[in-house]
Amino acid sequence: MAVFRVQKTKDYTVMSNYHLRDTTMTLKAKGLLSLMLSLPEDWDYTLYGLSVICKDGMSSIRAAIGEIEEAGYLTRRRIRNDKGQLADTEYTILEQPEKRINKTNQPICDFPILDNPTLEKPMQGKPTLENRTQLNTNESSNKKQNTDSWLST
């Protein structure tokens, strides 16, 4: 198949191929990341700002952003104003991901060491079985009732 190339003198983007060859990301996430890398630094990287220039809806862009962030190519940091209120969000977009972090905030190694852990058989405690005495409600009291005393006199 023939490939036609355009002479690149203006309005083009140079970016790393690293994210394009990342097999853990979907094509949608790779395309959105490429688009984000091509935008100027002062661009509005909110969901609305990206949805203005994309055909996809905000929910589709939200899913792709989540995938890009999970892969380590995007970090978000909330900025507070002088009063301590949340004011803005700072986006950092990377051509190569930082160390990937899983849901438990533990770094994921590129080549994890997998071994077969030895499993111990847990010691089971022996429950104490005792015969509990139950209250017998069928027996009557041995005490005489006070009503019997007036009959004997």
| In the predicted structure, residue 152 carries a pLDDT above the cut 60 | no
Rounded to an integer, the average pLDDT of 139-151 is 58
Instruction: Read off the pLDDT of residues 121-131 as tens digits, 9 standing for 90 and up.
Output: 777 777 777 77
Alpha carbon distance 28, 43 (integer Å):
20
What pLDDT is stored for residue 139 in this prediction? 62
Q: Which residues pair with 89 in a beta bridge?
A: 78
Residue 67: how many other CB atoms lie within 10 Å:
19
What pLDDT is stored for residue 100 in this prediction? 55
25 pLDDT tier (thresholds 50, 70, 90):
very high
Residue 78: how many other CB atoms lie within 10 Å:
9
DSSP 37-59: HHS-TTS--SHHHHHHH-SS-HH
Higher pLDDT, 137 or 35: 35
Neighbour-count burial for 6-43, b at 16+ CB within 10 Å, e otherwise: eeeeeeeeeeeeebeebeebeeebbebbeebbeeeeee
| In the predicted structure, residue 59 carries a pLDDT above the cut 90 | yes
Pair of tokens at residue 67: 């995938």
Q: Where are the domains of the chain?
A: 12-102
Instruction: Read off the pLDDT of residues 37-57 as tens digits, 9 standing for 90 and up.
Output: 988 888 888 888 888 898 989
- Fold of domain 12-102: Arc Repressor Mutant, subunit A (1.10.10)
Instruction: Read off the pLDDT of residues 77-100 as tens digits, 9 standing for 90 and up.
Output: 888 889 888 888 888 889 888 765
Q: Say what the pTM is.
A: 0.57
What pLDDT is stored for residue 3 in this prediction? 78
| In the predicted structure, residue 143 carries a pLDDT above the cut 80 | no
